Amino acid sequence: MAQTLYDKVGGEEAIEKVVEYFYNELVLKDETVNHFFKNTDMEKQLRHQTKFISFALGGPKQYSGKSMAKAHKGLNVQPEHFNAIAKHLHDALAHFGVGEADIEQALEKVASLKDDILYK
């Protein structure tokens, strides 16, 4: 059986560290996108995002949050915002030693959600 990307990156514990770094060191320090999280309960966001990314990378289905379209409704996310977030995810994964091919696979999954996120 082929190893999932979830397993390759080290499971939920490793993904939790990536998500914390992603938000705390990259997203929240980026003035082009941090305003989207101004009124966000970041502890809750970190938990949800860890479960979502775990599921998106082939891990167990634990994510039961809002749909992508509902979660982004009213934010009017533009392509430049989406691209900045994708770059931060790339950089967070790379920071923790995830290989470029695996990062590209993860970003393809994220890109498949673009229509549910943009212009809502």
User: Domain with 27 in it: what CATH number?
Assistant: 1.10.490.10
> Does some domain include residue 60?
yes
pLDDT > 70 in the chain, percent: 98
Query: What is the percent of the chain where pLDDT is above 90?
Result: 67
Would you give the distance in Å from CA 81 to the centre of its chain? 13
Task: Output the pTM of the full model.
Answer: 0.90
Number of domains within the chain: 1
Do the domain assignments include residue 3? no
Q: What is the spatial distance between Cα 37 and Cα 27, in angstroms, rounded to a whole number?
A: 9
Whether 96 is covered by a domain: the verdict is yes
> Binding site for heme: residue ranges?
48, 72
35 lies in a domain? yes
Query: What residues are designated binding site?
Result: 48, 72
Answer yes or no: is 4 within a domain. no
